[in-house]
Amino acid sequence: MTSPRKLLTLESLSAAVTDIRVPLLGSLSVRAAEVQRELQEGAVKPFEELAACHLGDPHATGQRPCTFLRQVAALCSYPALLDSDVFPEDAKNKAKAIMRTLDGGSVGSYNPGYTSQTLPRKIARFIERRDGAPCDPRNVIVSGGATEAIVSVLALVVNEEEPLKTGIMVSAPRCPLYPDVIAMCGAVVVEYELDEERGWSLNADNIRRSLSAARRRCQPKVLCVINPGDPTGRVESREGIEEVIRLAAEVNLLLFADEVYQEDVFGAGAAFHSFKKVLCEMGPPYSEQIQLVSVNSISKGVFGECGLRGGYVEFVNIDPSVFEKLYVLKSFNLPNVLGSLALEVLVDPPQPGDPSYGTFIQERQTVLSNLAEKARLTEEILNRAPGIRCNPAQGAIYSFPRIEIPDKAMKLAEARGMEPDTFFCHQLLEDTGIVLAAGSSFGQAEGTHHIRVTLLPPVEKLTNILKKIVEFHGSFMRKYS
């Protein structure tokens, strides 16, 4: 045997794969992991532990799971617990009701009937209650989390056989997974800027302007909106959503609404309006013609169950023949049943009068009032610093303050091949152990620099982190001015 050419090597990969960048949030999460290891190996640093403030991972940063959801999951995992007296009756009844609809009564069966029919019916009723508008369960598809849903839906829209590449419009800033997913699907990112001066609101003129410019290089088909906003913490107004729907009709775009933070709304006067609700309320021709896709997830909100992987997609004004193909595609990646039943708890939680209702409501209130308090603290503490300007967060789990970067730091960053805010975050990490995400990972207006601060750490811890950021930014300004 002569030494053969190996078949699977870095060189053998397709360009689409080779071009994929390092993980979300890039070099910072890589360096954070290294610092963690160095600390474990006894390295002496100016800090004793990392303060992770870069990930939207609620349980990892101290949010407690929803008791009722976990009780139902435990009961369905080990049904012998139905005989024990440690669970409230409604958790037992919920578990029994779910297990009756499972093949062989087991979460260990594939359960295509549960995930593609029973559960979509419950999700549809949740959407109807939320929106006061009808929802056909056949338009709802359960997925293993929102990310996977985003990938599969965007991939469906892209048709690489067409002469012009598909353009997919995403805001700047936005959750960093979008550009990677869009590139992976063979489409083109078309950025539109949110309006930082108006609290990160949607701005139809910005969308229109970037659409016109994009039509020269691609065929824009989809307008993605994240509401409540990651990383902005913006909760879009009803009027703002209506304006975007009108625009989508005018320029013929499919609307993709990433509404995974819909439970996380805490700003005074802010309320979540789903695109579906506003669309239905606008009536014909909009309600009949606009193609809308909306995603939701168990990973955020009061549940924060990122690790269980549960989510769903609702399709509006899209032909069932398209879902048929999506179902077949998704048969290669079936939703897991425990994540799916967690989704059932999200859409059908304890009701007034149920034994678990009090605990459930209290847990929800705790999550939301903590987020509100932390958003307030973030705005207050960061805006004290001369070089930091912070819009109020009304929802989601982040704040996206703008930071000033002095000239010498800009030059140093450039010399290291880094974005200026990435350079700032690296320096902050080495000096304080605080891990933030740099604004450049999310997209931002030319010449501006930001950091994303997650509102997840406990109040006291976050307060310390914020004070240290302010202090560090001050010394950073002095050092590099």
> Is residue 313 close enough to count as binding its own copies by CB under 8 A?
no
> Is residue 62 close enough to count as binding its own copies by CB under 8 A?
yes
- Alpha-carbon distance 454 to 397, whole Å? 6
- Alpha-carbon distance 157 to 286, whole Å? 20
Considering only 202, 211, 222, 429, the residue that binds its own copies (CB under 8 A) is: 222
Closest CA to 204 of 246, 172, 164, 236: 246
As a whole number of Å, the CA-based R_g of the chain is: 23
> Is residue 74 close enough to count as binding its own copies by CB under 8 A?
yes
Closest CA to 396 of 187, 235, 171: 235
In the region spanning residues 250 to 279, those forming contacts with its own copies, defined by CB under 8 A, are 250, 252-254
In the region spanning residues 106 to 135, those forming contacts with its own copies, defined by CB under 8 A, are 106-111
- Please state the closest distance from residue 394 (CB atom) to its own copies, in A: 25
> Is residue 12 close enough to count as binding its own copies by CB under 8 A?
yes
CB 335 within 8 A of CB 110: no
> Is residue 3 close enough to count as binding its own copies by CB under 8 A?
yes
In the region spanning residues 79 to 98, those forming contacts with its own copies, defined by CB under 8 A, are 80-81, 84, 86
Find the part of the chain contacting its own copies (CB under 8 A) among 208-216, 328-336, 353-361, 430-438: 328-336
Alpha carbon separation from 375 to 245, 267, 389, 466 (Å, rounded): 29, 9, 14, 11
Instruction: Using the minimum distance from each CB to its own copies, give the nearer residue, 81 or 377.
Output: 81
Find the part of the chain contacting its own copies (CB under 8 A) among 39-47, 158-166, 360-368, 421-429: 158-166
> Is residue 438 close enough to count as binding its own copies by CB under 8 A?
no
Cis previous bond, 88, omega within 30: no
**337, containing H or E segment:** helix 337-347
> Is residue 10 close enough to count as binding its own copies by CB under 8 A?
yes
- Alpha-carbon distance 27 to 305, whole Å? 26
Strand 398-399, strand 51-52: pairing: unpaired
Burial pattern 300-311, b for ≥16 Cβ within 10 A else e, equals: bbbbbbbebbbb
Phi and psi (nearest 5°) for 364? -60, -45
> Is residue 371 close enough to count as binding its own copies by CB under 8 A?
no
> Is residue 332 close enough to count as binding its own copies by CB under 8 A?
yes
Considering only 46, 269, 285, 353, the residue that binds its own copies (CB under 8 A) is: 285
Q: Is 167 helix (H, G, I), strand (E, B) or coil?
A: strand
Instruction: Using the minimum distance from each CB to its own copies, give the nearer residue, 55 or 403.
Output: 55
> Is residue 287 close enough to count as binding its own copies by CB under 8 A?
no
Considering only 286, 312, 400, 424, the residue that binds its own copies (CB under 8 A) is: 286
- Alpha-carbon distance 299 to 303, whole Å? 7
> Is residue 22 close enough to count as binding its own copies by CB under 8 A?
yes
Considering only 42, 104, 269, 447, the residue that binds its own copies (CB under 8 A) is: 104
> Is residue 70 close enough to count as binding its own copies by CB under 8 A?
yes
> Is residue 7 close enough to count as binding its own copies by CB under 8 A?
yes
Considering only 98, 141, 142, 145, the residue that binds its own copies (CB under 8 A) is: 145
Binding string, 231-250, against its own copies, x = CB under 8 A? ------------------xx
Considering only 27, 82, 125, 180, the residue that binds its own copies (CB under 8 A) is: 180
User: With the C-alpha atoms ordered 139, 186, 16, 28, is the resulting torsion angle positive or negative?
Assistant: negative
- Alpha-carbon distance 341 to 250, whole Å? 40
- Please state the closest distance from residue 475 (CB atom) to its own copies, in A: 31
- Alpha-carbon distance 451 to 473, whole Å? 11
Binding string, 376-405, against its own copies, x = CB under 8 A? ------------------------------
Considering only 27, 93, 317, 359, the residue that binds its own copies (CB under 8 A) is: 317
Find the part of the chain contacting its own copies (CB under 8 A) among 42-50, 65-73, 208-216, 426-434: 65-73
Question: Which contacts of 192-201 are long-range, i.e. CB under 8 A and separated by 24 or more positions?
Answer: 193/445, 194/229, 194/232, 194/234, 196/391, 196/402, 196/445, 196/448, 199/234, 199/391, 199/392, 199/394, 200/229, 200/232, 200/233, 200/234, 200/391, 200/400, 201/234, 201/236, 201/237, 201/240
- Please state the closest distance from residue 14 (CB atom) to its own copies, in A: 4
CB 118 within 8 A of CB 341: no
- Please state the closest distance from residue 437 (CB atom) to its own copies, in A: 15
Question: Which residue reads 């077949």 in tokens?
Answer: 328
- Please state the closest distance from residue 336 (CB atom) to its own copies, in A: 4
> Is residue 30 close enough to count as binding its own copies by CB under 8 A?
no
CB 377 within 8 A of CB 469: no
Find the part of the chain contacting its own copies (CB under 8 A) among 128-136, 313-321, 398-406, 442-450: 313-321
